[in-house]
Amino acid sequence: MPFILSSAAKLSSQSMSASILLDLSHTSHTRARTGIQRVARALARELNAEAEPVCFDPYERRWRPLDPWERRMLDSDTPGRGRSAHWPLAARGRGWWRRVRDRPAPLQPREGGWGVLVPEIFSPAVNAALPALFAAATGPRVALFNDAIALKLPELSPPGTVARFPAYLQELLAFDGIAAISEESRDSLLDYWRWLGVSRPPPVVAIPLGIDPPPAPLEVAGAGAPAAGAAPIVLSVGTLEGRKNHLALLEASERLWASGRRFELRLIGLTQARTGRAAAARIDALRAAGRPIRYDGPADESTLEAAYAACAFTVYPSLAEGFGLPVAESLARGRPCVCLGRGALGEIARGGGCLPLDAATPEALEAAIAGLLDSPALVAELGAAARRRRFRTWSEYAAAVTGWMQDLPLRR
């Protein structure tokens, strides 16, 4: 059965013979595995033949299907250490040559474009080219919305993102609908548009993200407990950047080590060049002082799964999220998680398995980690609650998004 036919509402006869144009202009040119890239890759994988991945080629100056090297980039499990899009010199030259030699025509979808789905935060250049992409599809144009953190916490966000965001949020008004990744994200976008005085915004729906399920059946109580004499491992997965609040976690850990608590802190995630420098420097200082801390940088899926299997529990110290994939993935693997108990993280935490915090301060993190280190029974209780939960898969997420698209009225 074709994937889209399994969604909540069946496609019309027109859409069954057409494809969804999936904009992967950034994701097909980076090895980053941060949240947006993971969502975009998951949609490409789950929609499969029902979607046609496309990108805006700035050298050819048009929308086109992905080239083989871009598809290989999309499928690669090798993580990168930066978020920026990379266009090899040969690809730049090829795009320029196509433009000069062929004067390429507008995008012609393989089976006719039914709708447009944009999961990325698009650049000004891509925004300027969106009318051409929209013209290639007869159905709804939908964008995913991740969060408004760049406006809420500008001091902890990359300056370029902060400068770009007001325009980006207004550009979203050109779509027929917006699929926000959480209730928090939906409310933030609608609040901003109300503040702007937008009288007729497109509909915005909250569709929580999916996750990759554990590769093996969930372990029973006691899994993740350290071997005799070994220190328990506390895992934190997420990009080192300002809003992820790693400095507070590192301060809490140092206080615990100084008080004689035994545990290893393991960190996984790339470092954001501007806002993650202070945390990276603090990690280096703690390691130099002999503290049991391990920083792996970005990791592939097998390394990440092994880290979840080895840890006793996880800590996600972030101050604000659009969703919080590492929290859901920790819980799906039966690992309790210490995280903020409000906002999008609170939406995940309220289902059980988390130790929610009123504030992600060093003091609160220190107390929460100490409580779990001192109480294996509490870890077991939270782990059991986590294992009872059921999280949406990426397949179910893709079905929810496309099912909503099918009933979405066009605004043009």
More confident residue, 104 or 383: 383
Amino acid (1-letter code) at residue 69: W
Q: What is the C-alpha to C-alpha distance for residues 315 and 29, in angstroms, rounded to an integer?
A: 31
Residue 358 predicted with pLDDT over 70: yes
The structure tokens listed for 329 are 């993935």
Write the DSSP assignment of 314-377 as a string of letters.
Answer: EEE--S--SS-HHHHHHHHTT--EEEESSHHHHHHHTTTTEEEESS--HHHHHHHHHHHHH-HH
The confidence score (pLDDT) of residue 177 equals 98
- Residue 26 Cα to chain centre, angstroms: 14
More confident residue, 8 or 373: 373
Alpha helices in 52-146 (DSSP H): 68-75, 89-102, 124-135
Residue 295 predicted with pLDDT over 80: yes
Average pLDDT, the chain: 89
The confidence score (pLDDT) of residue 230 equals 84
Q: Percent of the chain, pLDDT > 90?
A: 73
Question: Could you tell me which residues come within 8 angstroms of residue 171 by beta carbon, excluding any fewer than 6 positions away?
Answer: 122, 127, 130
Residue 109 predicted with pLDDT over 90: no
Residue 16 predicted with pLDDT over 70: no
Mean pLDDT calculated for residue range 354-362: 97
For the segment 41-98, what is each residue's pLDDT rounded down to a tens digit?
Answer: 999 999 988 899 999 999 999 999 999 999 998 888 776 666 677 888 988 888 888 8
The confidence score (pLDDT) of residue 44 equals 95
For the segment 221-279, what is each residue's pLDDT rounded down to a tens digit?
Answer: 445 566 667 899 999 999 999 999 999 999 999 999 999 999 999 999 989 888 999 99
> pTM of whole model > 0.85?
yes
The confidence score (pLDDT) of residue 83 equals 67
The confidence score (pLDDT) of residue 283 equals 97
The confidence score (pLDDT) of residue 3 equals 30
Q: Structural domains in the chain?
A: 3-210+393-406 (3.40.50.2000), 233-387 (3.40.50.2000)
The confidence score (pLDDT) of residue 98 equals 82
Residue 207 predicted with pLDDT over 60: yes
The confidence score (pLDDT) of residue 352 equals 96
For the segment 125-140, what is each residue's pLDDT rounded down to a tens digit?
Answer: 999 999 999 999 999 9
Mean pLDDT calculated for residue range 199-210: 96
Residue 315 predicted with pLDDT over 90: yes
Residue 391 predicted with pLDDT over 70: yes
The confidence score (pLDDT) of residue 7 equals 38
The confidence score (pLDDT) of residue 81 equals 64
Residue 164 predicted with pLDDT over 90: yes
Q: Percent of the chain, pLDDT > 70?
A: 90
Mean pLDDT calculated for residue range 267-295: 95
More confident residue, 308 or 79: 308
More confident residue, 204 or 212: 204
Question: Could you tell me which residues come within 8 angstroms of residue 135 by beta carbon, excluding any fewer than 6 positions away?
Answer: 106
Alpha helices in 85-223 (DSSP H): 89-102, 124-135, 149-152, 159-171, 183-196
CA-nearest of 328, 310, 314, 304 to 379 is 314
Most confident of 110-119, 163-172, 220-229: 163-172
> Do the Cβ atoms of 276 and 156 come closer than 8 Å?
no
Mean pLDDT calculated for residue range 336-343: 97
The confidence score (pLDDT) of residue 158 equals 87
